[in-house]
Structure 1
Amino acid sequence: MDSGDLTGWSIKNNIKEKYHFEAKLASGGFGIVYLASDRKTGEKFAVKAIQQQRVKDYKSFVTEVKILKNLDHPNIIKLYEIWEWKEVCFLVLEYCEGGELFQHIIDNKCLSEEITAYVMKQLFSALEYLHSKKISHRDIKPENFMLHKKNDLSCVKMIDFGLSKDFSASQTMVTMIGSPYYIAPEVILMKYNKNIDIWSMGVVLYIMISGKVPFPGRSENEIIKNVMKSDFHFNYDAFKTCSAECKDLIQ
């Protein structure tokens, strides 16, 4: 596959000359994520190795990489370098050892309002910055936020820009994408703007407080039907001690 689309953005050399690959962190259809360290400084990074031949939409992949490379915010994962070697693209990313926010919520069942407010301030800061750059994430969910350190919510990072969209040319987007539990009704109707990210943030807030999804369902169709109704409740025990301001923000 022609990798010229990243010319000027990537280093075309053997990445292992600079980085020592220590362990495999994750794998999937996208490729493999490794824990790697700089051979000179010892600093640790997460390196995502992507077989270019396996990328179905290479143009979209290049767009995602360029979007991420241009972002610089304390609550957004940092892409430091792009390497290309023997038809493999390597993304050298900031290493977050704390795991997903989603897993942290599961481990704790739910989070207090005080802690949730502390985390949400970081998430909204990242989203405000992203929108200021004319980018809509379009896949906001707890799985797409990482803790920089284990069990430490002082630094949470937004990740995964695979569905992100530059809306500088047009405020309106029409592609139905995202995760059913978190998508806004406008996405289902296939005519929406950046505000769908704010809807998804409301769902994340609800889950952090209660440990439950606001629009449950036994199938994707049932979930989508409930999203379209936009009918949810505050009947879970966690909401009994929740402030009116928090409930108002969710609504």
Structure 2
Amino acid sequence: MANLPPKFESSNLPEVQIKTHPITDKYELTKIELGVGLSGKVYKCIELNSQTERAVKVLNVSKKARNEAMIHSQVCQHNNIVQLIDVYENQSKMYIVMEKMLGGELFDRIKEKEHFTEREAALMTRQICLAIRFLHQNGIAHRDVKPENFLFATKDENSILKLADFGFSKNYRESNLTSPCYTPYYVAPEVLTAARYDKACDMWSVGVITYIMLCGYPPFYPRSERNFSIGMQSRIKQGQYNFPTDDWQHISKGAKDVIQSLLRIDPKSRYTVEQVLCDPWLDKHREVPLTPLTSGSLLSESKQGWPAMLELSLSEMRLKDTISLKPLSETNSLFKRRQKPKCSSED
């Protein structure tokens, strides 16, 4: 079992110290790509003195990039957040040097496991919430809580799970959250409908991730060939989802209760991160049933379907008529499994 941090952590966070001398004084940069985000690519680099492999995110210099580096530097000391090591800036590029995560993304790990259990899902949800709690305690809303942003430190079975990518993060104590930043499957209803929202949007996303971990598919999905249909948006805004019997009949009531408490459309009645960590399903996660789940095989089956959807901000969605995605009906049998006869033309 991984060693997890204590329940309450301190604040008084430091600010980033941006270095202006060449990054190549300390690191050897490579062209080996480790990941891609909306704001920039992540490459492998090597610390010259120790020959330690690191990861470096390369961004165009901007106010947004500096904000990402500052927020990441303020919270990276937490055990469930990817450690930031150095930040460099020249005339056009910013380099955020981080620890290199060796264990892969959250859902990739689940797909690789022969027997993924409900107890493991509870443990992973708990580690996700520990990271988010530290952000919220220090006035930070992540705003892009999704499985691609949770990485395992090592390939070891008991590896720590860590949160990465703070490109959408913002200090909600210093300014209002108004920008519609999101990834469609994980977006909270208030981000779609309200002029202002708060950190509760992160908790909705936790509910979506937990749902997927337990069954292998999302609670909200497009029923037509449109990538983010009006119908899907409507179901998110109204909180319309269910627990299909075939995949949920053996999953505990405690797990379903947590999801229902997180997927409440009213952010004021939604579980806070403190509440979910105190819920018995997480607080007593070692007692959660070792029920085998089908989520790993379904995630593998759906790898060309919903997880491959392009990440679209609202500004990009306004151009949705120019965006072309391969129809889900051609890529993923999972949606046929969940497809229901259409009763209306909302999609």
Cα distance, 1:33–1:244 mapped onto 2, change above 3 Å: same
Instruction: Please report how far the alpha carbon of residue 50 of structure 1 lies from its aligned counterpart in structure 2 after TM superposition.
Output: 2.4
The percent of aligned pairs where both chains have the same amino acid is: 32
Q: How does 1:150-161 map to 2 (within 5 A)?
A: 150=155, 152-161=157-166
Specify which of 255, 258, 262 is matched with residue 246 of structure 1.
Answer: 255
Contact map agreement 2:16 2:74 (CA 8 A) in 1: no
The whole-number CA distance in structure 2 between the counterparts of 1:8 and 1:99 is: 27
Instruction: Please report how far the alpha carbon of residue 175 of structure 1 lies from its aligned counterpart in structure 2 after TM superposition.
Output: 2.2
The whole-number CA distance in structure 1 between the counterparts of 2:135 and 2:210 is: 19
The two structures have a TM-score, normalised by structure 1, of: 0.86
Specify which of 2, 10, 16 is matched with residue 24 of structure 2.
Answer: 16
User: Whose strand proportion is higher, 1 or 2?
Assistant: 1
The whole-number CA distance in structure 1 between the counterparts of 2:58 and 2:213 is: 32
User: Could you say which residue in structure 1 is the equivalent of 2:182?
Assistant: 178
The whole-number CA distance in structure 1 between the counterparts of 2:30 and 2:172 is: 39
Cα distance, 1:141–1:129 mapped onto 2, change above 3 Å: same
Deviations 1:195-221 (A, max 9, x none): 111111010000001011001114312
- Matched AA of 2:174: A
- Report the more deviating stretch, 181-190 or 197-206: 181-190
Q: Which runs of 5+ in 1 are unaligned?
A: 1-6, 53-57
SS at match of 2:72: helix
SS at match of 1:199: helix
Contact map agreement 1:110 1:210 (CA 8 A) in 2: no
Specify which of 192, 195, 199 is matched with residue 197 of structure 2.
Answer: 192
Contact map agreement 1:111 1:210 (CA 8 A) in 2: no
The whole-number CA distance in structure 2 between the counterparts of 1:109 and 1:211 is: 14
Contact map agreement 1:104 1:151 (CA 8 A) in 2: no
Aligned: 1:119 with 2:128: no
The whole-number CA distance in structure 2 between the counterparts of 1:189 and 1:8 is: 34
Contact map agreement 2:168 2:181 (CA 8 A) in 1: yes
Point out 4+ residue stretches in structure 1 off by more than 6 angstroms.
Answer: none
Q: Which runs of 5+ in 2 are unaligned?
A: 1-14, 261-347
Specify which of 136, 144, 150 is matched with residue 131 of structure 1.
Answer: 136
Instruction: Please report how far the alpha carbon of residue 236 of structure 1 lies from its aligned counterpart in structure 2 after TM superposition.
Output: 5.1
Q: How does 1:187-226 map to 2 (within 5 A)?
A: 187-190=191-194, 191-217=196-222, 218=224, 219-221=227-229, 222-226=231-235
User: Could you say which residue in structure 1 is the equivalent of 2:324?
Assistant: none
The whole-number CA distance in structure 1 between the counterparts of 2:233 and 2:110 is: 23
Aligned: 1:229 with 2:233: no
The whole-number CA distance in structure 2 between the counterparts of 1:110 and 1:208 is: 13
Instruction: Please report how far the alpha carbon of residue 8 of structure 1 lies from its aligned counterpart in structure 2 after TM superposition.
Output: 7.6
Deviations 1:7-38 (A, max 9, x none): 98211122122112345124656444221222
Deviations 1:37-91 (A, max 9, x none): 2211122210122243xxxxx2122111101111121111111111123532111
SS at match of 1:233: coil
* Structure with max Cα Rg: 2
Aligned: 1:59 with 2:25: no
Let me know the Cα RMSD of the aligned residues: 2.3
The whole-number CA distance in structure 2 between the counterparts of 1:173 and 1:94 is: 29
Contact map agreement 1:98 1:152 (CA 8 A) in 2: no
Query: How many pairs does the alignment contain?
Result: 239
